[in-house]
Amino acid sequence: MSCSQPDHRKLTRLTSSDIVSASSTSFAASIGLIKQALTSFVEIVDVLPASQKEDQLAVATYLFAELLRDETAKADLAGPCLPLLKAICDRAYAARQPGSHIYARVLHGLLSACIQHVDEMRYVVPSAPLPRQSQSASRLIRP
């Protein structure tokens, strides 16, 4: 009897554009899928012991930060999911343990990531060349 080798496939990171383009569903269905996945994760966290809730809600916040970071999607997937981020933050605040600073660090990390993403967008080179200015427009712009 010969034993076949298991198929080891390289795991790749799914982006939000993969979610939109890989399926034939509409944009609204993709948003619904993201919302349902995060909602299910948070509902599972509700069942966990109180000592684990804060850490797991930090993971949910990290997942949302990754959704904000991904700019490869052709449509805004994070915007319609912002009420879910508020619900995650509310639950994390309610689940925080006395003397724990995890929630404060998670919020600091989320805000820092948002600022970093905005800063990275400032340095993106436009794919199409900018239109040339006319002589009169360039005179108006010069001091």
Predicted local distance difference test score (pLDDT) of residue 49: 92
Q: For tokens 């400032």, what's the residue?
A: 122
Within a domain: 68: yes
Alpha carbon distance 41, 25 (integer Å): 22
pLDDT digits (tens, 9 = 90+) for 22-54: 444 577 788 888 889 989 999 999 999 988 998
Q: Which amino acid is at 105?
A: R
Within a domain: 11: no
Domain count, the chain: 1
Closest CA to 92 of 38, 36, 128: 38
Alpha carbon distance 15, 63 (integer Å): 12
Predicted local distance difference test score (pLDDT) of residue 132: 57
Within a domain: 94: yes
Within a domain: 2: no
Residue 66: count other Cβ atoms within 10 Å of its Cβ.
14
pLDDT digits (tens, 9 = 90+) for 52-108: 998 999 999 988 888 887 766 677 777 888 899 999 999 988 888 888 888 889 999
Q: For tokens 């080891």, what's the residue?
A: 8
Within a domain: 113: yes
Name the band, by pLDDT with cuts 50, 70 and 90, for residue 143: very low
Within a domain: 128: no
More confident residue, 133 or 105: 105
Identify the DSSP state of 126: P
Q: Determine contact, residues 66/77, Cβ cutoff 8 Å.
A: no
Predicted local distance difference test score (pLDDT) of residue 44: 93
**In this model, does residue 141 exceed pLDDT 60?**
no
